[in-house]
Amino acid sequence: MTDGRKTRCFETDLQFCPDCGTVLPNPNKKDQNVACARCNFKIPISAFDGIEIHSTLTVNKPLGKASSTLTSEDAAGPTVDRTCSKCGHEGMTYSTRQTRSADEGQTVFFGCPNCKNQEIEYS
């Protein structure tokens, strides 16, 4: 355009900045304009009159408490050189599980085949 006005890069609804495509913040009644945090595009708050904003919060159900006793599945696992802290038995079985988010280390469960004591190590 030759009249000095900037051309818009995007055809969007009121949720996105037409200059850079960034999500615009929700309108605030105390401000006169809604401004893009990235490129400083501004739109009058009156443009949002009559628009309803709905949101939904979804919370996952807890999986339940972890068992502190050794299961037969854990007892049948491979053996590692580790001394049981409860009975002193040499050699414990182990299994690994991803109990935290994927970008964190796995949890190692050690089980004593003698007294069924279970120890947990977070790596």
Task: Quote the domain boundaries for residue 109.
Answer: 72-122
Q: Name 22's Cβ contacts closer than 8 Å, sequence gap at least 6.
A: 16, 36, 37, 38, 39
Structural domain contains residue 63: no
- Domain shared by 76 and 118, yes or no: yes
- Domain shared by 49 and 78, yes or no: no
Both tokens assigned to 87: 């009975």
Q: Any idea what the Cα angle at residue 80 is, between residues 121 and 96, rounded to 5°?
A: 40
Q: Which of the residue ranges 54-58, 78-82, 111-115 would you say has the lowest mean pLDDT? A: 54-58
- Domain shared by 43 and 85, yes or no: no
Structural domain contains residue 101: yes
**The total number of structural domains that make up the chain:** 2
Alpha-carbon span 106 to 98, nearest angstrom: 5
- Domain shared by 85 and 46, yes or no: no
Structural domain contains residue 67: no
User: Quick one: pLDDT at residue 90?
Assistant: 92
pTM listed for this prediction: 0.39
Q: pLDDT per residue over 23-50, tens digit each?
A: 888 777 788 888 888 888 888 888 878 8
User: Quick one: pLDDT at residue 1?
Assistant: 35
Q: pLDDT per residue over 69-108, tens digit each?
A: 555 554 567 888 899 999 999 999 988 888 888 888 888 8
